[in-house]
């Protein structure tokens, strides 16, 4: 059975195998060793503009919501760090391209800073210096045989648009489509892989509270503004996708997707209640955004709509806090992606129950999540190394949205910053093993893997206390020198050979899906 997305690809002449007739129909080669990736599999590394570029006010760039927050006074990040200079990739991008060459990557996933291109958010004032900068980055990548994969929005909204209410205001969809059109016009002749948004489930956290751990812009309207954001983002994404299909695809021949995050939620017990809570947690995190785009029926997941509506009624409201999509919007959003970018890092335990503020998305979900304490923990307290959750996530996504091409757009480990990063190497070998099991044994259609992150960077509210880089950056040195970590050398060999050596290929804790 084909999904709407698969049907779209068939109309476009793209090749998608059916999903229901065993792994060979789904792209597995029976003669490929289990520790080897497909020959056409792509590997890469990723960054985000605000986290690495620096140059926060140079060459006509406007203020972003992160500039605004981190300049608002007081110690906002754990170490007081800002993105004013960060890894200075704005000036050192050619050096960073050389690092990508060392890694043997096929693709570099980076984001464009919206306020560097459009300082006020609208196309009435275009910053040519910003256009020139990204042209140089793209051309440098292509000159070294590296494919650019551009994320349009990785959390650095122009502050001028936040002054209008940010993503809770539906007019932001108009601004985003204008911005996307400009990117297609300026860069689409060379960029063939686009993602509209990075992980809206996480940047919605900026509308769920104003405490010291909240992301920018720190709007304290949980259970209201985050649902408004979801609707605006979905409409903006779909309209940008349709614009590309109607105006640019036949000439530029690129692909447009969206990147979503999915933690695996493991039921705390075998009870029906806990299993149902785990499924619901997945629908609130991933399904809220993926179901309208990738499912056959479209629209928000039924369980999400039901639970938000029931809680809204119990609170005495006249309507659901989750604004409905019109029939026209459902049709426009459904099938509006060429692929799903999937960010996955870790797993949490889930039991049925109530938690969180009233109202809030957390409370609406009816799921109480907790850490699995017996697994290795990163200095980023939300991150634990639980590789079997990766395979379970991929199988669940593949079952929910059959025929949907998937690319892993982020996966990585944060540590305190040493060059001999044995735990990161352990993490990568274990998670890549589970990815191989999912591809070669379960037939999950994954066409690429992009590690987070190329460089140490500003890890949002954690500042520089947590390092995700394959390359160490010395933030005490004004020149920001880079040094390869052990994990960079490990991944460079994996990317070159498209396989894990037998000593790194781990057995799976999950039974094969056959």
Is the pLDDT reported for residue 392 higher than 90? yes
Domain that holds residue 459: 38-497
> Is the backbone peptide bond immediately before 492 cis, with ω within 30 degrees of 0?
no
Is the pLDDT reported for residue 479 higher than 90? yes
Give the CATH number for residue 290.
Answer: 3.20.20.80
Is the pLDDT reported for residue 246 higher than 70? yes
**pTM for the full predicted model:** 0.95
Please report the DSSP string for 275-343 in residue order.
HHHHHHHHIIIIIHHHHHHHSSS-SS-HHHHHHHHHHHHHTT-SS-SSPPPPHHHHHHHTT--S-EEEE
Identify the band that residue 30 occupies on the pLDDT scale cut at 50, 70 and 90: low
Residue 403 lies in a domain: yes
CB 335 within 8 A of CB 7: yes
CB 118 within 8 A of CB 125: yes
What percent of the chain shows pLDDT beyond 70? 94
pLDDT tens figures, 265-278: 999 999 999 999 99
Residue 502 lies in a domain: no
Residue 294 lies in a domain: yes
User: If you average pLDDT over residues 184-206, what whole number do you get?
Assistant: 98
Identify the band that residue 512 occupies on the pLDDT scale cut at 50, 70 and 90: confident
Instruction: Return the H-helix or E-strand segment holding 260.
Output: strand 255-261
Give the pLDDT of residue 60.
98
pLDDT tens figures, 52-94: 999 999 999 999 999 999 999 989 999 999 999 999 999 999 9
Residue 426 lies in a domain: yes
Please report the DSSP string for 187-221 in residue order.
HTTT--EEEEEE-HHHHGGGGB--STTPPTT--B-
Residue 505 lies in a domain: no
Q: How many domains does the chain have?
A: 1
Residue 1 lies in a domain: no
Is the pLDDT reported for residue 332 higher than 90? yes
Which residue's structure tokens are 């509270």? 209
Residue 16 lies in a domain: no
CB 86 within 8 A of CB 51: yes
Is the pLDDT reported for residue 31 higher than 90? no
Residue 2 lies in a domain: no
Give the pLDDT of residue 514.
59
Nearest to 141 by CA among 194, 101, 114: 101
Is the pLDDT reported for residue 225 higher than 80? yes
């Amino acid at each position: 059975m084909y999904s709407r997305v698969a049907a779209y690809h068939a109309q476009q002449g793209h090749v998608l195998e059916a999903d229901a007739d065993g792994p060979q129909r789904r792209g597995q080669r029976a003669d490929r060793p289990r520790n080897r990736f497909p020959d056409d599999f792509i590997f890469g590394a990723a960054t985000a503009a605000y986290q690495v570029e620096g140059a926060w006010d140079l060459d006509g760039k406007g203020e972003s919501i992160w500039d605004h927050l981190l300049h608002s006074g007081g110690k906002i990040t754990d170490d007081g760090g800002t993105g004013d200079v960060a890894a200075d990739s704005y000036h050192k991008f050619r050096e960073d391209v050389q690092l990508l060459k060392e890694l043997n990557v096929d693709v570099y996933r980076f984001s464009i800073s919206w306020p560097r291109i459009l300082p006020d958010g609208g196309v009435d004032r275009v910053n040519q210096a910003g256009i020139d900068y990204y042209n140089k980055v793209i051309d440098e990548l292509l000159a070294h045989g590296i494919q650019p994969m551009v994320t349009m929005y990785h959390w650095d909204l122009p502050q001028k648009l936040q002054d209008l209410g940010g993503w809770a205001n539906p007019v932001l969809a108009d601004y985003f489509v204008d911005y996307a059109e400009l990117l297609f016009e300026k860069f689409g002749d060379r960029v063939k892989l686009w993602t509209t948004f990075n992980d809206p489930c996480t940047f919605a956290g900026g509308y769920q509270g104003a405490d010291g751990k909240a992301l920018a812009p720190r709007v304290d309207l949980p259970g209201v503004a985050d649902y408004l954001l979801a609707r605006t983002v979905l409409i903006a994404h779909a309209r940008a996708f349709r614009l590309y299909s109607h105006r640019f695809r036949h000439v530029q021949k690129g692909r447009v997707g969206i990147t979503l995050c999915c933690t695996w939620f493991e039921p705390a017990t075998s009870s029906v209640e806990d299993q149902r809570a785990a499924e619901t947690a997945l629908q609130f995190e991933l399904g809220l955004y993926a179901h309208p785009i990738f499912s056959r029926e479209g629209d928000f997941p039924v369980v999400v709509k039901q639970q938000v509506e029931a809680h809204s009624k119990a609170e005495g409201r006249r309507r659901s806090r989750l604004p409905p999509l019109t029939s026209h919007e459902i049709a426009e959003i459904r099938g509006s992606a060429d692929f799903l970018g999937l960010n996955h890092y870790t797993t949490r335990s889930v039991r049925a129950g109530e938690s969180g503020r009233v109202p809030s998305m957390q409370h609406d979900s009816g799921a109480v999540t907790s850490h699995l304490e017996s697994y290795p923990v990163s200095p980023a307290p939300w991150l634990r190394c639980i590789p079997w959750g990766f395979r379970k996530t991929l199988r669940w996504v593949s079952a929910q949205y059959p025929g949907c091409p998937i690319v892993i757009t982020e996966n990585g480990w944060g540590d305190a910053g040493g060059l001999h990063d044995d735990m990161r190497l352990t993490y990568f070998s274990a998670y890549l093993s589970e990815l191989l099991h999912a591809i070669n044994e379960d037939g999950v259609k994954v066409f690429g893997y992009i590690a987070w992150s190329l460089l140490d960077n500003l890890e949002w509210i954690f500042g520089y206390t947590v390092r995700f880089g394959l390359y160490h950056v010395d933030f005490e040195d004004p020149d920001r020198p880079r040094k390869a970590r052990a994990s960079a050398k490990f991944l460079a060999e994996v990317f070159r050979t498209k396989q894990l050596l037998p000593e790194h290929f781990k057995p799976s804790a999950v039974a094969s899906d056959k």
